[in-house]
Structure 1
Amino acid sequence: MRIATWNVNSVRSRLEHLQRWLTDQTLDIVCLQETKVVDEQFPLEPLQALGYHCAIAGQKSYNGVAILSRQPLADVQIGFGAVLGAEAVGDLDEQKRVISGRSGDLRIINLYVPNGSELGSEKYDYKLRWLTCLQQYLTVLGDRESQIHICGDFNIALEDRDIYDPAGKETHIMSSPTEREALRQSVLSLGFVDAFRLFEAGADQFSWWDYRTGAFRRNRGWRIDHHYLSESAKARAIACHIDREPRTWEKPSDHTPVVLELADE
């Protein structure tokens, strides 16, 4: 099974790129973030023509997540509230950032973690609240299901080797100690492992590059797009790599796909 995560930064603006990449790849599941489109305007037909079923949760102009799959997913759930209940979640499901479904015995969870804007801002506080809710969500799911895969744009570089230049990271959004600890608590403390680091230990391997200052050409990037596996799913991991090719195309997303390969059950 091959699973990809890709923040496409508008699925309609990047549709030709997505079609080109899907045609060139052999993928079972593709998790998209920042689709930026209401469900009624999601480009279902061209993706279905490529053989994909589409589970979608979108909103106008912002956020939005989708899972494309060769086989229909079972038990598709949207938002934290599907597991925790609306009262426990409060306002955190107003933005479309969470979608999941089951493929065989594997629960696939696709996330678009808030960026946070800047340290100390309201958006930063929202990000931390969101990550706390994520921990609660994964805790409950972990009691129900053993094989869980989480992927998406986490908007956090967990370690210094995930940033081209970690100087000043303490005061930089996406790398502050508080954000990193929140990610550790919400995901890693529950026993999930970073699938990419099972196979790649080196630095200078990134999934996002700012559009400005020639960041991609100079490889001044960040690794903020992740795959995480529960302990039982970890045993199925075969490979994980970052595909830089789509970032070289004209008018690309600022992110590039990350592909995980799992052994079939």
Structure 2
Amino acid sequence: MSRVLVTGAASGLGAALVARFVADGHQVLGTDVSPDAPGSTPYLKLDVRSPEDWDAAVAWCEENWDGLDILVNNAGIATGGRIDVETLDEWDRVVDINLMGVVRGCRAFVPLFKRQRSGQIVNTASAAGLVHPPMMSSYNTVKAGVVALSETLSHELSPYGVHVSVVCPSFFRTNLADSIRGADSAMGATARQLIEKSPRSADDIAAVVIAGIKKKQHLIIPDRPAQLAYWTKRFARPLYNRQMRRIAARAHERAEHGR
């Protein structure tokens, strides 16, 4: 039985992961920015932008569990937009939450994992960390950063017996679309539609992610569209480039016509 901490646990993929970890018999601490517990499992308010909240989470795990086995850095927001429309304040926000939130979580718990000489870090990135569609420069950038951080730590922490996994799903149904806000409303509307009309649920993704965690897979790509995009980029780059430019052309046309 593992001791697991999940950020962004109040909804979406975080909530689905908590439910599956609990069903498998693990001890789970759910965390999120809300001060109110969303369920019956132990819960701690944790804003991933706050080093003090991270210190409190480490202290909770040490005091209540005498350590931690799996840290799931899952909290994040959706964002996107054309480079000349999305504001620098929007960039600062997504970098602070989606990238630096993961960095803070790793920095907070790595000393504990090193002392234990065991542990697993699971960072939720996105297919956007592996393939980079147009009109998503800020989101692509931070998710690619999470992928790079995860690979770096997989090597860096190997001598301590610490494994690192990075999760890269494509669009799936979740309330993540509610976090979309910004100057490029046309691109925000497109992202919302892709999220809300996906045939995949958060629980579908969580099931594959849990299986990958159990196997200590480094790169977990939990759905077919994400896998196809990744392999197309790697082995059929001209086709990948044509697809991306078609997406850009359609988005340009919609923006020009105010759709």
Normalised to the residue count of structure 2, the TM-score between the two structures is 0.36
Determine which structure has more spread, i.e. the larger CA radius of gyration. 2
The structure whose residues are more often strand, as a share, is 1
Identify the structure with the greater helix proportion: 2
